[in-house]
Structure 1
Amino acid sequence: MDGPGGALARAAADGDVVDGWLRGLAGNQVLPVEMLARLLKFNELPVPSFWLKYRPLDAAATELLVASPQIQHRLDVTENVTADVDVLARLVRDPEPRVRFVYAVMLFEYKRPIPAGVLEILAQDPEPKIRRIVGESEKPPVAVQEPPPVLTAEQRVTHPDPAVRTKAAADPEVPTVLALRLAEDPDNDVRLAVSMREEVTEEQRTAIPCEVWRQFWSPPPWIARQATDREAARRIARSAHVGLRRVLAAQPRLAPGVVALLAADEDEWVRRT
């Protein structure tokens, strides 16, 4: 036996394990922007980087991605609904035409507020297809659009757009009694989000039919908060819900007893992570 050090060295040499480590860190919704910046510099960071489209981004994280030398990072941030619109507007002068094009498309697709001068710059873009997007848009060239109406919790859980229902299903501000209505939603992502709510009981979780994707990029923040609590982490590690166990396995600084539970997990992804 060569001890934990040797086991760690072997794990670090395993490409799949490294992939799991990096994905777990990158998908951590409470990861500090400084750590995100370091992760983005890893050549080994898994590709594609589609997880950047879904993790919450504040202004600092948006700026980090907008300034990234990697074109894919800049493309991904344009599709993130939480990205800061003022910082994102810098992409209107991006040297890569693909980035400017996707930015223009998402500007109207997501009905984002339009900072002053953006439409005018896009309307004079060297690329005809970008100018065409602006010309065919029904949006008036004003500095900032009216904010969209705020939906009630009831409206969110009954919304026709599954993306809206998925966010409602995961939002702790939506009352549990309303969120549980989505346990039989036709969309798997909606049902999965409900099943991973913090207050849902084990019995309720196991009763919700859903598939946990192998690459899950919306880890509930409450798991990261509880990961440092030994007893809470043990409860999560013993959960019948493999999604909870996978998210927990990606958390740093787990207690040795919790690590032992996860190392013996029946799920290969949990054991490798």
Structure 2
Amino acid sequence: MPPEQTWESAGPAERRLAGVALNPAAPVDVLLRLLADGPDAVRMVLARDRVLPGPVVDAVVAHPDRNTRGFFARNPYADPEQRARLVDDPEYRVRGHLSREPRADDVCMPRPLPDRTIVRIIETYEDDFLWELNRLISPGLQRAMATHPSPKVRRMGIGRLSWTSLTPDVRDALLADPDPGAREAADASRRSYARLRDPDAVRADLPAHHCHPRTHLLLYGALAPDVVTEAMSQDAWLIAANDSTPPETVALLAAHPDPEVRTRVARRPGLGPAERRALAVDPDPQVRLVLSVHPALSEAERAAIDYEVDQDEWYCHSPVYDPESLPDPEETRDLALSAHPLLRRRAARLPNLPADLVALLAEDSDLGVRVLLAQNHPDAPAALLLRSFLEYTGRDRWHLTGHGNFPRDGLARFADDEDPAVRRLALLDAATPPDTADRLTHDPDAQVRADAARHPRLPQDRIAALLDDEELSFRAAANPGLPVATMYELIAGAGRTP
């Protein structure tokens, strides 16, 4: 049964027990009883939606119900080493869940499995599951796949890495690999790259109709003059991004009537001075904006361009998974000190931004710079995190509250704010008065009510009353102020439910 259906089919008693399963104050004995005897919805919440004590993890991994183990395989709160214990699970579906990225919520971002577990999955899992591994393979493992001791890992690595990214020694080794599958994959990759760099082969392979292979060849293939001429009439936006497009054609594309084509030209790394000068005064604001961050421009040249940076954007948590992709310290400093907001936004996303630049960008005049710094830097200051939450209302806003430096003290002052998301902040404050928490359980916003039902200072009589509330019983049962004796009573009462 799908998780949504499992929850929808749960009755009031089951939902109360699911709340107990989520309760951070629930003793290990309570959790083990729920795991052993609880219905599907309870075991789903317990295994999937919280951090679990070690003895409960042991019981989940050994649980006879495959769905329970499968829920734990997708638990974003669990330590990856704990989830990795399921790698050799006998059940096909549990292994399938483990091979996918864990489900995430507004605060908790999934963490990847250990490299050795990914290798084990590649070596032993059904091929149907391997295509879903892409987002789970660490950059370090990906770089090592082509030379890995395991033949199956090498074969998969050849498919993930471009032929040009491999050193000549590695290419030669793969073409002579003792594993026939690796040799075949390497030879296919070599031949595919050779055809992509051969203008005659690209012409022969180019479909006449619009499709993915045509797009790929016009974007990345070596283009003969006649192919370029033909593409100018209907696919100019593709050849505008192709690094083999000749300079004289690039000059024509820089004056193309379609602003999307000119925008793509403005992104070309090797754009010449004449084209840069023309695009700097382009009539289209998007073209000018894209050109204004071209790496060949000086700060003075950027400042001379009439560009406008949009403030109405999403500033999201965007983790850097590959440390080797980070710019060097000098480039980082240049980005952070640029007068251009978009370049400072690039710097703000970098998790290794040094402390002096963190302090500088925390006071930046651009909202995007401040919020991206708050979303992505591990040492973002508390004052910046709160300010960013109050000023930014877009996607991943609540993710800011999950940052380790997000302030909790003094948030009760927001209990009467007109913005429901800001009222929720009051319920992160452990010192919020009981009467305020009580009042917020009647709030017009459903999420505020749900948070209030879990606040640890909610009066005991209100917690007891909410246990019979159809909407909030689940949250009330998850309240850490719920007496342990009541937890046992709920378990016993559910057992008597017909």
Indicate the structure (1 or 2) with the bigger Cα radius of gyration: 2
Q: Which has the higher contact order (CA 8 A, sep 6+)?
A: 1
- TM (norm. structure 2) is 0.31
- TM (norm. structure 1) is 0.49
